[in-house]
């Protein structure tokens, strides 16, 4: 099986030993506590689940700056996105060597992790902006990722952590949320060697379905992992529960049995485009995938990134040998009225725009809200039915 990123074995930060976990929970009750924001809680969850291997905890300012500027830690590990715990107030933990990290997303704020504090550093607005700009390729405060990052606070708390649970993800998505270790175990159990991962934060329409099928066939892959984001998205995006239902229905009806794993991970979307695509590759390698599909505007938002910037960064900016996982580059896929099937648009040079069935997100939402299904060439009827029920319920509310 493919090696994890940066180490020979996967080192998840979740405390598996029940006795030690109980000891840490007891210790945490007497420790100074820091209530995390959602972004830091998601980072802790990803660290606990092994997706951010080989990191041992939250980065300090020097590592955060180095990752933003050079896409590597101060020790030379290839890493494209700072993994940080930034907060507005550290009065309750000032001077503490051990602290309890509390979950902002669950009522009562239970302890999510115990942290050994290496440093508490004050970060200026200028320093935050200097990190944000290369990460998001913009300083525009209208960019949802920039807006979130710059609003986290001005104190950076770094150090190793021991993770005690997976926040709300395991409870809310018991059939979907999986750790990197669990996915590796399932890949091994299935006997898969070549494994394609598909990243999604949206329901899968025909174009997505066929793109996955194309990648599997062209790579002669043993299996596909549809790996969906379960954390926070921007306003207006479809909730994870609805996406999960849509994807499961599509796989059940339109893919061969035992050819697809449906899984999810606990992270808040960054909308960082090319940089986030690199992070996606790292944690897909950590979970055992050998290939990642990277399509148009991967992890993008609005018009902040070029259509193929996420593909280009793999070709131009990843040092040789830094990643073992490979990418499958894809163009926009759409149903061809000429050929009667979904194609990659750059592979049919004899087509004009009108030869494709192309619908904007706005047009699709309007159809679904009105109780009209998009054409079957665009969306499977069974998937459209789930989405119509969701949109009509929201319209009525």
202 is catalytic: yes
**Structural contact between residues 328 and 363, judged by C-beta atoms closer than 8 angstroms:** no
The tokens of 200 are what? Answer: 């999604």
165 is catalytic: no
**Structural contact between residues 362 and 379, judged by C-beta atoms closer than 8 angstroms:** no
Dmax (CA) for the chain in angstroms is: 70
Report which DSSP code applies to 93. Answer: T
Alpha helices by DSSP H, listed for 140-205, are 144-150, 169-172, 180-190
Q: Is the dihedral of CA 45, 49, 54, 57 positive or negative?
A: positive
Measured distance CA(217)–CA(351) in Å, rounded: 24
Measured distance CA(224)–CA(216) in Å, rounded: 7
Q: Which of 21, 201, 248, 365 is catalytic?
A: 201
Q: Which of 98, 154, 190, 202 is catalytic?
A: 202
Exposed, middle or buried by CB within 10 Å (0-12, 13-18, 19+), for 16?
exposed
Across the chain, the runs of DSSP E, i.e. the strands, are 33-35, 57-58, 86-87, 98-102, 111-122, 155-163, 195-200, 223-229, 260-265, 291-294, 326-329, 333-336, 341-344, 356-357
The tokens of 125 are what? Answer: 């607005």
Tell me the catalytic residues. 201-202
């Amino acid at each position: 099986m493919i090696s994890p990123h940066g180490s020979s074995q996967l080192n998840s930060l979740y405390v598996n030993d029940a006795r030690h976990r109980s000891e840490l929970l007891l210790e945490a009750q007497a420790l100074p506590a820091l209530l995390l924001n959602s972004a830091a809680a998601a980072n802790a969850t990803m660290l606990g689940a092994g997706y951010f291997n080989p990191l041992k905890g939250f980065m300090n300012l020097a590592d955060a700056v180095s990752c933003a500027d050079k896409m590597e830690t101060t020790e030379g590990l290839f890493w494209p996105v700072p993994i940080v715990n930034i907060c507005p107030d550290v009065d309750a933990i000032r001077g503490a060597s051990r602290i309890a990290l509390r979950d902002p997303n669950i009522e009562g704020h239970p302890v999510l992790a115990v942290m050994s504090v290496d440093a508490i550093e004050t970060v200026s607005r200028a320093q935050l902006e200097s990190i944000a700009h290369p990460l998001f390729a913009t300083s525009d405060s209208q960019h949802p990722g920039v807006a979130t990052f710059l609003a986290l606070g001005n104190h950076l708390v770094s150090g190793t952590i021991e993770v005690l649970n997976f926040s709300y993800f395991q409870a809310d998505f018991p059939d979907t949320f999986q750790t990197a270790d669990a996915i590796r175990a399932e890949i091994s159990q299935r006997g898969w060697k070549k494994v394609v991962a598909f990243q999604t934060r949206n329901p899968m329409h025909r174009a997505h379905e066929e793109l996955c099928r194309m990648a599997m066939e062209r790579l002669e892959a043993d299996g596909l992992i549809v790996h969906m984001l379960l954390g926070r998205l921007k306003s207006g995006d479809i909730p994870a529960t609805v996406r999960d239902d849509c994807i499961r229905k599509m796989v059940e009806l339109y893919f061969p049995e035992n050819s697809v794993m449906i899984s999810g991970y606990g992270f808040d979307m960054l909308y960082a485009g090319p940089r986030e695509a690199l992070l996606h590759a790292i944690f897909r390698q950590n979970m055992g995938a050998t290939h990642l599909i990277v399509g148009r505007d991967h992890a993008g938002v609005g018009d902040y990134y070029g259509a193929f910037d996420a593909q280009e960064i793999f070709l131009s900016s990843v040092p040789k040998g830094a990643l073992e996982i490979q990418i499958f580059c894809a163009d926009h896929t759409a149903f061809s009225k000429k050929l009667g099937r979904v194609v990659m648009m750059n592979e049919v040079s004899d087509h004009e725009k009108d030869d494709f069935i192309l619908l904007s997100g706005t047009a699709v939402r309007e159809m679904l809200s009105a109780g009209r299904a998009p054409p079957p060439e665009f969306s499977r009827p069974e998937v459209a039915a789930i989405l119509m029920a969701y949109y009509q319920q929201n319209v009525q509310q």
